[in-house]
Amino acid sequence: QQQVKQSPQSLIVQKGGISIINCAYENTAFDYFPWYQQFPGKGPALLIAIRPDVSEKKEGRFTISFNKSAKQFSLHIMDSQPGDSATYFCAAFNQAGTALIFGKGTTLSVSS
Amino acid sequence: NAGVTQTPKFRVLKTGQSMTLLCAQDMNHEYMYWYRQDPGMGLRLIHYSVGEGTTAKGEVPDGYNVSRLKKQNFLLGLESAAPSQTSVYFCASKKAGTRNDEQFFGPGTRLTVL
């Protein structure tokens, strides 16, 4: 049973535009929601993460918005650049709280 | 500090052959993981370990076995490879403690089963 649902599967954005990726989770017990970024041929790497006691976290052009009551969180990439073209994964913990379970990923293409 | 390394980087197997993928980390992390990545399926957890000598099943454990004899190494075995196991395999590690410690990934192993 997948615990994290991610959408859209793919996204094309023009340079300078805003990219938005959404995720929904099921288990309300967990307290850490990271986003990972993966470039072709590489392993995923942590991009940004949030705890549910805050509604928003911003790091540079990347912002996570968190809606605890709806059990949803989203990644916003402002002023999207071609270098942001990658696959993005949201994640949450498994039932035991010992391993991250990932969404299916969103492939972002930023056109110049 | 090499981080998480995986051996081999590429491998082609015939159906029924066996092989072992090796993951090593030099960060003294307690937790280690094996994921597989397939198009449209994202990253799926195969097995994981929370310490030396302990392993647990993830989402898709069938057809795989693992061992964690040393803290720094986590081995993933395929006893009888099947075409459905064609995938990119990623190892990851994380230190024990709070959940918000980063999970570090290796560069991946691309496995093709003919």
pLDDT tens sequence across A43-97: 999 999 998 889 999 999 999 999 989 999 999 999 999 999 999 999 988 777 7
- % chain A with pLDDT above 90: 74
pLDDT of residue A112: 87
pLDDT of residue A2: 52
The DSSP letter of residue B21 is E
Distance CA B54, CA A93 (A): 19
Q: B43–A102: do the CB atoms touch at under 8 Å? A: yes
Q: How many CB pairs below 8 A link A and B?
A: 61
pLDDT of residue B49: 96
Preferred mutation among A39, A88, A104, A106 to probe B, highest tally of B CBs within 10 A: A104
Distance CA A26, CA A93 (A): 10
Distance CA A18, CA A86 (A): 15
Distance CA B114, CA B108 (A): 19
In chain A, the residue whose alpha carbon lies closest to the alpha carbon of B96 is A98
Q: Which two tokens stand for residue A9?
A: 């599967």
- The per-residue pLDDT for range B64-112, each reduced to its tens digit, is 999 999 999 999 999 999 999 999 999 999 988 777 778 999 999 999 9
pLDDT of residue A52: 83
Distance CA B90, CA B86 (A): 13
In chain A, the residue whose alpha carbon lies closest to the alpha carbon of B4 is A43
Which residue in the set B33, B90, B105 is minimally distant from A99, CB to CB? B33
